[in-house]
Amino acid sequence: MKFIAEHTNIPVPKLHCCFEDDSAVYLIMEYVEGIGMNKLEEGERKVVEKELEVHLETMKKLKSKFWGGPSGIVSCPTRNI
């Protein structure tokens, strides 16, 4: 999220902290007021959908200098065989 905020114009909530506890990861983020897409009228929803399309295209073009992503962390999923 920090990488997206620093390298794009996509609005993202501020990340206050993140931590792991008992094998669960938690993100503490800024609360952002808003309404659900299902509450918007058709015209309003179309405007938001267009904005989302632009943001998705921006993210598809986003590149990091680091192998493994912006954090440099490469994670391999584990399998239970």
List Cβ neighbours of 37 (8 Å cut-off, separation of 6 or more): 45, 48
Q: Name the pLDDT band for 2 (thresholds 50, 70, 90).
A: confident
Task: Confirm if 48 and 40 have CB atoms less than 8 A apart.
Answer: yes
Q: Tell me, what's the pLDDT at 71? A: 62
8, 58 contact by CB (below 8 A):
yes
- Which DSSP category does 40 fall into? S
pLDDT for 74 beyond 90 = no
Q: State if pTM tops 0.75.
A: no
Q: Give pLDDT tens digits for 27-71.
A: 999 999 999 999 999 999 999 999 999 999 999 998 877 766 656
